Structure 1
Amino acid sequence: MASLGLWVARRRDGVGAGERELGYARAQAPMLYGFMFVCVVEAVGVSVLLAKNPVVHWIMLVLDVYTVLMVAGFQAAAVTRPHVVGPRGLRIRAGARMDVRIPLERIASVRYDLRFPKTETAGRESQERDGVLELPVGAQTCVTVELTEPVTAVKLLGQRVEVRTVRFHADEGRAAVAAVREALDRQREKKDEAGGVVTPA
C-alpha cells in the first residue's frame, strides 16, 4: 500500500545514482487494470442494491474500496520497485513480495532465455526448487542469471531462500541482459585498472 504514495509521487524505491532500473510491470498491467475495473463495477452494483440497508452498505463499501486499493497497490509495487542494476550489483524484485540482491562478482552468466513456467507454478508469484528461483510476470520469465555462489532471496515476511539460479521477467528482456553485461564489463575494467583479476562472465 505504501507503493501507492510512491506511484502518485512518481518516485522509485531503491534506485540510486548511477543505477539503471529494469521495469517488469507492463506484462501484468492489463490483467490488474481489468480486475480493478471489475471491482469498481461490482462496488457500484452492490452499493445500489444495499442502499436501503445503510449498515451493510457501508461495510461492503469499505471492503470494496479496500479491494480496489489492494489491486492498485500490487501494480504500484511493481512499478515503483523495479529490478535495478548498477555498481552495487543486480537487484531483482517482485513488487514488495520478493527481493534478491546479487553482487556482480557472483554472476557467472546472464542470458535472454524466454520460458513459460509449468502449469502448477504459472499463477504463483515465485517458485523455488533445487536452488532455482523463478519470478514470472504474465506467466513468463525471459532472463536467466547463473551464479558462482548462492545468494539469499528475502520474501515479504522475512523468509529466506538460498538460490544459485534466478529466472525473472523484464519488459525489455534483451535490454536488461545488455545492461547487466555492461555493468559486468565496467566492473572488469575497474579491477583491471586496479591490477585485479576478474573471471569472465
Structure 2
Amino acid sequence: MSADTTTTSRRSPWEQTRYIARRALTMEIGIWQSLYRFLFRRPRVPRGAVGFTYHKQVWTILMIFIGLSAFEIPILDLIVHRWPVVRIAFLALGIWGLTWMIGLALGFVTRPHAVGPGGIRVRNGAETDVPLAWDDVESVSLDKQADEAKAPKVTVDDQGRRTLWMRMQNETNIEVALERATSIRLPSGTETVNVVRFWVDEPRDFLAEVRKYI
C-alpha cells in the first residue's frame, strides 16, 4: 500500500488557512444541526432507507469526554469566581465546549449509514457523507480488518486500486467494491476511489438489507 494520497496538491499558507477556517465553520454548523436533529427526532436517513449505527466502539470514550467537560465547568468556576469578567468568559467557554462535545457525539447518532432504494450512504459524523448509487456498486462483502493507528485514509495497491478507509477505532468490516473509479467528496478534498471500506456495528443486518437491492 502507498502512503496517504488524500489532498494530493500542496496548499499555500493562505489556502491552508482558508481550508482550516472552512473546516471549522463546517464542523460548527454540523454540531448544531446534530443537536437539532436529535431534539426533534429527525435522523438523516433517506426516505425508504434503513439506518445502521457505527459508533458503539467510540461511544464510551465520547461519554467520558463529555463527563469530564461537564465536571470541569464548576471546578473552573470555583477557581475564578473572584474575577467576574474571567468567570463569565470561562463559563461561556465551558458551556460551548460541553455543547460541542455533545453535538459531536450526536452527529454519529443522527447520521447513521443508510441502505435504501437510492443506494448506500456511508457516514462519519456530521462531516462525511459518501453516497454510493447501486449502479456504481459491484459488490458488498463482510471483511473485517484492523489497521495501525494513523494509517492512510486513501491507499493504492499494486494493481492501482484506490481504497478509501473510513475506520472506527482503526477497524473496518464492510468492503464496497465499485464498478468503476468514482469521485468522492471528502472534507479534505475530492478523491477518486475503486473501493470504500467502513465499519458497521451490525454488519450481517447491513448485508441482509443490501441483498434486497443487489
Q: Where does residue 138 of structure 1 map in the other structure?
A: 169
Residue of structure 2 equivalent to 1:194? none
Aligned residue in 1 for 2:57: 27
Runs of 4+ in structure 1 deviating by more than 3 angstroms, as ranges, are: none
Provide structure 1 residue ranges, at least 5 long, that are not aligned to the other structure: 185-201
2:36 corresponds to 1:5: yes
The alignment yields a C-alpha RMSD, in angstroms, of: 1.6
CA distance in 1, matches of 2:63, 2:174: 25
SS at match of 1:120: coil
Deviation string 1:143-164 (CA, Å, 9 cap, x unpaired) is: 111111122322347x221111
| Bigger relative contact order (CA 8 A; separation at least 6) | 2
- The equivalent residue for 2:22 is none
Displacement of 1:27 in angstroms is 2.1
Please give the alpha-carbon distance, in whole angstroms, between the structure 2 residues aligned to 1:42 and 1:136.
30
Distance 2:174 2:59 in 1: 20
Q: Is the 8 A contact 1:101 1:151 kept in 2?
A: no
- The answer to whether 1:102 aligns with 2:128 is no
Give the AA of the match of 1:4.
L
Amino acid at match of 1:83: H
Shift of 1:84: 1.0
Quick check: 2:141–2:174 contact (8 Å CA) kept in 1?
yes
- Count of aligned pairs: 178
| C-alpha distance in structure 2 between counterparts of 1:27 and 1:65, whole Å | 26
Is the 8 Å Cα contact of residues 46 and 116 (structure 2) preserved in structure 1?
A: no
Aligned partner of 1:77 in structure 2 is: 107
Displacement of 1:55: 1.0
Distance of 1:32 and 1:53 partners within structure 2: 32
1:114 aligned counterpart, secondary structure: strand
In structure 2, what is the Cα distance between the partners aligned to 1:36 and 1:64? 11
Q: Is the 1:102–1:151 contact (alpha carbons within 8 Å) kept by the matching residues of 2?
A: no
Query: Within 1, Cα distance between the matches of 2:55 and 2:35?
Result: 14
Amino acid at match of 1:183: Y
Distance 2:39 2:168 in 1: 23
Q: Distance in 1 between matches of 2:99 and 2:147?
A: 29
Give me the whole-angstrom Cα distance separating, in 1, the residues matched to 2:120 and 2:80.
Answer: 51
TM-score by length of 2: 0.78
Matched AA of 1:129? T
Q: Distance in 2 between matches of 1:172 and 1:72?
A: 24
In structure 1, how many angstroms separate the alpha carbons of the residues matched to 2:184 and 2:57? 23
Residue ranges of structure 2 left out of the alignment (5+ in a row): 1-30, 157-161
3-state secondary structure, aligned to 1:73: helix
Question: 1-side partners of 2:77 and 2:170: how far apart?
Answer: 34
